[in-house]
Amino acid sequence: MPRRRPLLPEDLSGATAEDLLAALRRARGGELDRLVGRLVAAGEVGDRLLAEVLPLARPSLGVAVAAGLGDVRGPAGDAALREVLHVGGAGTSDLRTVATLSLAKRGGAAASADLVSAWGARDWGTRMSALHCLAAVGDDRAASSVHGWLARRLRARRAQAMAMPTDVVLGLAYLLRHASPDAPALVALVRERWARLEPEEQEWVGEQWPGAAPGGPPPEEVAVPDAELLRGRVADDALLGPSDWSGSWEDAVWTTTSVDVPDGRGGVAAASVAHLAEHAPEIEHLLRALAAGAPHDGTGRPGA
C-alpha cells in the first residue's frame, strides 16, 4: 500500500488556512487529532492557523479546530472562538459548545463575558457548557440570571436521569461561589424545591452544603461552602484540562468499526470504515451502477 504524503509540511510557518483545511479534509481516523495536536504544539503559529481555518471548516471539522484552540495560546484564537458563539444553522450546537469550553480554558475568569454570552444561547448544549464553565471559572456577573433560571427549573422540573454534575448542581455550585450575601435566599429555594431534586443532587447538597437541607438551621445561619473547594468539584481535568491529541481512540474506531454494504450480488458484506474510505471512488461507481441497474462485476466496473 503506498505511503500517504504528510498532511502538512514540516515547517508550519509558511502554511496557510487553505493548506490546513485541505489537510483536515484528508485526515482519516486518529490523523485528525494528531494534526490538531501538532498545531497545538506549534504555539502561536498553530493558534494563527487554527483561528484562520475555523470559519472555513464545516461544523464537524470545526469542533476539532475549536477544541485545539482551547489548548494553544496566541493572539488570534479568542476572537475566532467568539465569532463561533454567534454561528447558527444545522449541526452547529456542538461547535458552539466546544468554543465556549475553549474560551474558558484560554481565559479563565477573564472569559466571563463570553461565558455569559454563551449562557444566553437558545440551544441546551451551549447553555450547559456555559453554565459548567461559569461554575468552574466564571465571575459573578451571571448570578442573577442563573438564580432566576434555577428557580424556574426546579419549579417545572420532572424526574429524569442525568449524569453528574447535573445542571442543577452546576447552577448551585456557581451561585455558591458568589452568593455570600444572597445565600439565605438560595437556602430557602433549595428547601422549598427539595422534592424536585434528584437523589444524587440531594446527596450532593448533603455533602457539599449540609446545612441547606430541610431541617437545617435558619437560612441566615447556614455557612457557605469554601468557594475554591466548590470550584475544584466542577473544574475537573476532563473538562478544563489538556485534551488527548494522540488519536488512539479514533484509530481503533476507524479500523474496527464495520458496516454492512451491498456486495453487488444481492447480498451484503462487512467493511471497516477505513476500508470504505480507502475505496471511496470504487464504492461510488458501484452505487451508481446499482442505481442505474447496469451490469457490473461487484466492484462497479461494467460487467458482461
Confidence of residue 85 (pLDDT cuts 50, 70, 90): very high
Contact 42, 11 (CB under 8 A): no
Determine the average pLDDT of the residues in 119-145.
95
> Would you say residue 289 has pLDDT above 60?
no
Q: Residue 148 CB: number of other CB atoms within 10 A?
A: 10
Residue 38: Cβ-neighbour burial (10 angstroms; 0-12, 13-18, 19+): middle
pLDDT confidence of residue 220: 93
Which whole-number Å values give the CA distances from 167 to 120, 160, 161, 183, 288, in the listed order?
15, 12, 12, 19, 48
Contacts of 58 (CB under 8 A, 6+ apart): none
Domain ranges of the chain: 1-121, 257-292
Tell me the HSE value of 132 on the side-chain side, using a 13 A CA sphere: 25
The answer, yes or no, to whether residue 111 has pLDDT greater than 50, is yes
In this structure, which amino acid lies at residue 53? V
- In this prediction, residues 94-120 reach a mean pLDDT of 96
pLDDT of the residue at 299: 46
What is the model's pLDDT at position 265? Answer: 58
Instruction: Kindly report, residue by residue over 208-246, the tens digit of the pLDDT.
Output: 999 999 999 999 999 999 988 888 888 776 678 888 888
Contact 97, 129 (CB under 8 A): yes
Rounded average pLDDT over 33-56: 95
Mean pLDDT in residue range 256-266: 54
| pLDDT value at residue 136 | 93
Judged against a pLDDT cut of 90, whether residue 64 lies above it is answered with yes
Confidence class for position 1, pLDDT limits 50, 70, 90: very low
**pLDDT tens digit sequence for 270-287:** 555 455 555 555 555 555
